[in-house]
Structure 1
Amino acid sequence: MDFQVNKLKHVAIIMDGNGRWAQNRAHRRVWGHVRGSSVVSNIVEKADDMGVKALTLYAFSTENWGRPPSEIRTLFLLLKKFLIKERNKVLKNNIKFNIIGDISKLPKDTVKIIDDLKRDSKDNTGLKLTFAFGYGGRAEIISAVNKLIAEDIEVTEESISNALHAPELGDVDLMIRTGGDQRISNFLLWQIAYGELYFTETMWPNFTCTEFEKIIMEVEKRERRFGQVTETESLAATKTQVKNNFRLIN
């Protein structure tokens, strides 16, 4: 029986290293993206089997618009092909699909495919699969704050969380970055406040379900205190304890 997650409900992945993987093999960068796209389906299926509640994948950042046009077009095409290929599997496996970020620059037919899959899977109750495409963490926070100001809602930690692109996903419990770099790269900045971080040297095209499961098992053993002295269930539990302590002190 596969290992089942207990603490790690929301896992986010920065799928890095496609271009370098290809260049190391004397191929064009786009070849790495093609190879890397085939890994996504396996990891989604593995996360679902392990009981992960939400999986968010960093597919294309706001900074990626500075890449060569040919590479950008390839990424657009791969997204379209993936959605067409995986549509039936998403629906069959009760997966709820979503995209966060700015997809206005995508081809209209791709946007329609996205909208159709979001609509047809919106009532699914299984894994919440989210692609971050045309996404930037700072832009998301700015958008949330501006939304609150426009609606004359007080800007608080709770109201910002509720105004984010996909508030139903909650905080990130674990963020994995492949490819060797050890940075966040403007990904889910608000949501990873207390997330566990894991950096692997493995390039995304070489990332396997076995390594994914090994990382999950290792991080599940970490003691997560959320600012407390001993292990705590969640950040929400810490906030409740803080409120109770204030009452006792005052």
Structure 2
Amino acid sequence: MKETNLKHIAIIMDGNGRWAQSRSHERIWGHIRGSKIVSNIVEEADDLGAKALTLYAFSTENWSRPVGEVKVLFKLLKKFLLKERNRILKNNIQFKVMGDITKLPEKTQSLIAELENDSKDNKGLKLTFAFGYGGRDEIVQAANKFIKENPGKELTEELLQSYLLMPHLGDVDLLIRTGGDQRISNFLLWQSAYAELYFTQTKWPDFTRKEFKEIFEFVSKRERRFGNVCSSDLQTSKMMAVENKELITNL
């Protein structure tokens, strides 16, 4: 297994509808094609040594889409759960869904619960689907839950982090958005505070393992400073400090 500084990868899988429309098809065909890409990207993330992969499958805002399109997304999730169950378990992947799934058909909810339970002890890649999820909603829920359980106690960053939906995943190291738009659309707002961002023009149905790997390797070479200065700037600052000290001494 490769060692990498990009432990948690998050992807906004965007562009399905536009991909279909550019080919004179209905939007649902883009979702159908896009659903076939997921397994390849999961495998590549695992091969690259990532510890967690979180995919934005359905946001809280997506409920405003046409009913027919929403139903197709429901069916595609169910199909994924049935088709990929054995491969997920075989490859030691831990599967979870974060968000509000209460509007999903009961059969799909049962499939999710079963796969989550059967894979809970797996030690490999942590694969999470964000479905019925919104970043602001997650933060509000976490804060309200803390206040209810700890009346009068001051909330800290560490405590709020522990009340998030999936605190064990930690912060996002790399957030990729396909489809050309350059925004994070209410996805993992807290977790992405210091994430490296990468926006590709490639629409999700055309996103390949090769491009994913190229993005991963390109971003892994960036120097992540987390608000600090880079090593070369730090060395320069130290040298200037010595020179200034000598200058002051000689006044």
TM normalised by structure 2 equals 0.90
Match 1:86 to one of 84, 87, 112? 84
Counterpart in 1 of 2:176? Answer: 176
Counterpart in 2 of 1:51? Answer: 49
**1:113 equivalent in alignment to 2:111:** yes
Report the residue type matching 2:215 in the other structure: I
Report the residue type matching 1:106 in the other structure: L
Report the residue type matching 2:49 in the other structure: G
Post-superposition offset of 1:173 = 0.2
SS at match of 1:197: strand
Counterpart in 2 of 1:24? Answer: 22
| Change over 3 Å in CA distance of 1:11–1:219 after alignment to 2 | same
**1:217 equivalent in alignment to 2:221:** no
Counterpart in 2 of 1:151? Answer: 149
Post-superposition offset of 1:6 = 1.3
Structure 2: gaps (5+ residues): 232-251
Counterpart in 2 of 1:41? Answer: 39
Post-superposition offset of 1:230 = 2.7
Counterpart in 2 of 1:9? Answer: 7
Distance in 2 (alpha carbons) for counterparts of 1:192 and 1:25:
34
* Offset from partner CA, 1:147-196 (integer Å, 9 cap, x none): 10010153110011000000000000000000000001000000000000
> Percent of aligned positions with the same letter in both sequences?
67
Distance in 1 (alpha carbons) for counterparts of 2:137 and 2:114:
26
Distance in 1 (alpha carbons) for counterparts of 2:4 and 2:83:
31
SS at match of 1:149: helix
Distance in 2 (alpha carbons) for counterparts of 1:61 and 1:119:
24
SS at match of 1:165: coil
- Aligned-CA RMSD value: 1.0
Counterpart in 2 of 1:101? Answer: 99
Post-superposition offset of 1:5 = 5.0
Matches within 5 A, 1:153-168: 153-168=153-168
Report the residue type matching 2:26 in the other structure: R
Give the aligned length.
229
Counterpart in 2 of 1:194? Answer: 194
Distance in 2 (alpha carbons) for counterparts of 1:135 and 1:173:
20
Counterpart in 2 of 1:237? Answer: none
Counterpart in 2 of 1:247? Answer: none
Distance in 2 (alpha carbons) for counterparts of 1:51 and 1:95:
13
Q: Are the equivalent residues in 2 in contact too, given 1:5–1:220 (CA < 8 A)?
A: no
Counterpart in 2 of 1:246? Answer: none
Q: Are the equivalent residues in 2 in contact too, given 1:148–1:154 (CA < 8 A)?
A: no
Q: Are the equivalent residues in 2 in contact too, given 1:62–1:135 (CA < 8 A)?
A: yes
Larger radius of gyration: 2
Post-superposition offset of 1:77 = 0.1
* Deviating 4+ runs (over 2 angstroms): none
Counterpart in 2 of 1:127? Answer: 125
